[in-house]
Amino acid sequence: MRGRVLRVSGQNCLVELEGMSVRCKMRGRLKGGRRESNSPVITGDWVDLEQDGPDQYVINGVEDRLSHFTRASSSSRPYEQIIAVNIQQLIIISSARNPSFRAGFIDRAIVSALWGELVPVIVINKIDLGLEKEVVAAMGVYEHLGYQVLQTSAANGEGISDLEALLKGTDSAIMGHSGVGKSTLLNAIDPRLALRTQEIMHQHDRGRHTTTAVQLYPLKGGGYVADTPGIKELHLYGIQRSEVAAYFDDLRPHIDQCRFRDCSHLNEPDCRVRTAVDEGQIAQKRYESYARIMESLSV
Ligand SMILES: Nc1nc2c(ncn2[C@@H]2O[C@H](COP(=O)(O)OP(=O)(O)OP(=O)(O)O)[C@@H](O)[C@H]2O)c(=O)[nH]1
Ligand SMILES: [Mg+2]
Ligand SMILES: [Zn+2]
């Protein structure tokens, strides 16, 4: 039988099978699988199931994945942490403020999406709290790059129907810092989800994550969406320094025109990328994000 993994916790999975949610365990040889990764079965996986008892199933195998949202763990020896697979869109949620807007985080998330074969979409939530100049400028940059940018407020309902239309009929994962309103937005789209959200009184507690596990939910209009726990730092996984510029759609057109073929675009002479920054063809902020990613990668 073929099912879709909705949630993974240790060796236990919740799997959608013919419209029902069933509990599954992983077959022994699966557990031993890829040691360098967080789990052999990931939310969004299509799996081969077998009934093992009255109310118990086992996962025999995992189908090849078409796409993935992956990061590196923040531990001292980073390992591959695959968050969700077989989805089409990565919905990158930021808040206009509280917690404060960080373009650098969005830029990393875009790289992560493109590397994982996902279409990045940018959502600025909490617009009821006002839009500072920096936020408006960043939205302009992303729109100019051709990414879809949505403005929402879960508080007053603005943009919620746009977000709903965006999610409908496709599979997406929602990501962003803790407290930007990911779960609140999903509840606004479908109150039946009844996801836990942060209490107002705890809004200023740092480091408190309200959503603690990745879970895929079917949407009423068709399609699925994965709510994910807040991410503090998005460490990129599997990308080498020499590849980063190609994931910046604004840098890429220039990278073949540098004097050196292996130009890092950080400090070499006759670097066409840095000239483009100086001439205003590449936004300064985007270049800073690129440089910071390069600094964070060792190879
Ligand atoms: N003013 C305002 N507050 C919002 C909005 N959306 C969410 N909030 C509030 O922001 C807080 C955090 O919302 P959550 O939905 O729990 O945030 P989250 O991104 O799911 O957080 P984690 O699960 O920890 O990653 C709650 O107090 C919400 O009521 C909005 O559009 N405007
Ligand atoms: Mg949440
Ligand atoms: Zn260069």
Q: Is residue 210 a contact partner of residue 182, using CB atoms and an 8 Å limit?
A: no
- Residue of higher predicted confidence among 251 and 208: 251
Ligand 1: which of 184, 202, 204, 232 to mutate, most ligand atoms within 8 Å of CB?
A: 184
CATH architecture for the domain at 68-227: 3-Layer(aba) Sandwich (3.40)
DSSP assignment letter at 63? P
Question: DSSP letters along 19-62, please?
Answer: TEEEEEEE-HHHHTS-TTBS-SS-TT-EEEEEEEETTEEEEEEE
Q: At what angle do helices 133-144 and 103-115 cross, to 10 degrees?
A: 20
Q: How far is the CA of 107 from the centre of ligand 1 (A)?
A: 21
| Ligand 1 atom, smallest distance to 154 CA | 31
Q: In this model, does residue 207 exceed pLDDT 60?
A: no
Ligand 1 binding pocket, CB closer than 6 Å: 125-126, 128-129, 153-155, 176, 178-184, 197-198, 200, 203, 209-211, 229-230
**Average pLDDT value for residue range 23-39:** 75
Q: How far is the CA of 139 from the centre of ligand 2 (A)?
A: 23
The domain covering 2-62 belongs, at the CATH homologous superfamily level, to: Nucleic acid-binding proteins (2.40.50.140)
Q: Which of 127, 15, 99, 113 is nearest to 70 (CA)?
A: 113
How does pLDDT run across 64-115, given as a tens digit for each residue? 999 999 999 988 888 999 999 999 999 999 999 999 999 999 999 999 999 9
pLDDT at 295: 96
pLDDT at 76: 84
Give the chain's end-to-end CA distance (angstroms, integer).
42
Q: CB under 8 Å to 92, separation ≥6 — which residues? A: 106, 109, 110, 113, 120, 121, 122, 123, 175, 176
Q: How far is the CA of 50 from the centre of ligand 2 (A)?
A: 32
What CATH number does the domain located at 241-296 have? 1.10.40.50
Domain boundaries, the chain: 2-62, 68-227, 241-296
| Ligand 1 atom, smallest distance to 127 CA | 31
Query: 164-170 contacts: CB < 8 A, separation 24 or more?
Result: 164/189, 164/221, 166/89, 166/91, 166/121, 167/89, 167/91, 167/219, 167/223, 167/225, 168/219, 168/221, 168/222, 168/223, 169/221, 169/222, 169/223, 170/88, 170/89, 170/223
- Name the pTM for this structure: 0.94
Q: Which of 194, 280, 289 is nearest to 244 (CA)?
A: 289
Question: DSSP letters along 110-136, please?
Answer: HHHHHHTT-EEEEEEE-GGG---HHHH
| Ligand 1 atom, smallest distance to 227 CA | 20
| Ligand 1 atom, smallest distance to 197 CA | 16
Residue with the smallest CA separation from ligand 1 atom 14 is: 181
How does pLDDT run across 254-266, given as a tens digit for each residue? 999 999 999 999 9
35 band by pLDDT with thresholds 50, 70 and 90: low
